[in-house]
Amino acid sequence: MPLSEITAMHVLIASSVTALCTGLGVIPFFFVSNISKMMLGVGNAIAAGLMLGASIGLSWEAGSISMGKLAIGLALGVALVLLTDALLPVAEPGQHLGQLSAVDFRKVLIILVVMTAHSFAEGIGVGVSFGGRDGLGDLISTAIAIHNIPEGIAISLVLIPRGFSKLKASLWSIFSSLPQPLMAVPAFLFVLMFKPLLPIGLGLAAGAMFYMVFFELLPESIQNTSRLTAGGVLVASTAAMLLFQSLL
């Protein structure tokens, strides 16, 4: 669509579609019934690999704009996870919060916070791209919509083995992407103001996900499988995610 014909409503619709695509990540779980401890470990490794691949892609994109702002964003991302973890109550063995143990509740909440922060950066990216050259916004929003599906898989891999229904996992996945339409429209309307923030936002999302991979998902995967299995699945899923991004 020509740049002169793009309106805020067009940006809102396009960014809302990208958010809804995150909910499609639950589809593979319609073909899986019982999730064993081994499958949980492999699932965590796959989620870690998908997030690691996404983080590398975000870091590359942010670094190509500004290495300094990337560094600031990475530090803010790690700080966000640490702050979230510090603000949560200490998980005592045997405690339960609804259908989740206290430990699982912390993990679920942290990954939702991380993926929601990630979506803020993607929303800015969509809005800024619609304020660029002709056709760029449609290209970027389509790429992010497709990219959101494996992100939805990563979220579902954490939620469903912990007792969430497929519907709830899909809805929480979509919820984590709601910042995309919320941020895309302001970023489109005030592109000159938001553009300098893009590499910081991308770095923040990457930093938060790097932390989740190496300090949450991968250690738990090793506990439920083995170092060899967890490492192999991590490398394979990271490579798949990087290949997927390169094709976009």
The DSSP line for 97-154 is ETTEEHHHHHHHHHHHHHHHHHHHHHHHHHHHHHTSSTTHHHHHHHHHHHHHHHHHHH
CB atoms within 10 A of CB 16: 18
| pLDDT of the residue at 75 | 94
| pLDDT of the residue at 160 | 83
| pLDDT of the residue at 216 | 80
Q: 36 to each of 26, 32, 33, 225, how far by Cα in Å?
A: 18, 11, 10, 11
Among 132, 124, 114, which residue's Cα sits nearest to residue 210?
A: 114
Check if the beta carbon of residue 57 is closer than 8 Å to that of residue 151. Answer: no
Q: Cα(115)–Cα(154) distance, rounded to whole angstroms?
A: 10
pLDDT means over runs of 10, the chain (248 residues): 70 90 87 74 84 85 89 90 75 51 70 80 81 67 80 82 85 89 87 83 84 85 89 92 79
37-65 and 198-212 helices, crossing angle to 10°: 160
Q: What does the DSSP 8-state code read for residue 163? A: T
Specify burial of residue 122 (Cβ count, 10 A radius: 0-12, 13-18, 19+).
buried
Q: 79: which 2 tokens?
A: 């700080």
Question: Model's pTM, two decimal places?
Answer: 0.74
Q: 135 to each of 39, 118, 224, how far by Cα in Å?
A: 42, 24, 46
Check if the beta carbon of residue 211 is closer than 8 Å to that of residue 50. Answer: no
The residues, any chain, with a CB within 8 Å of residue 89's CB and separated by 6 or more, are 102
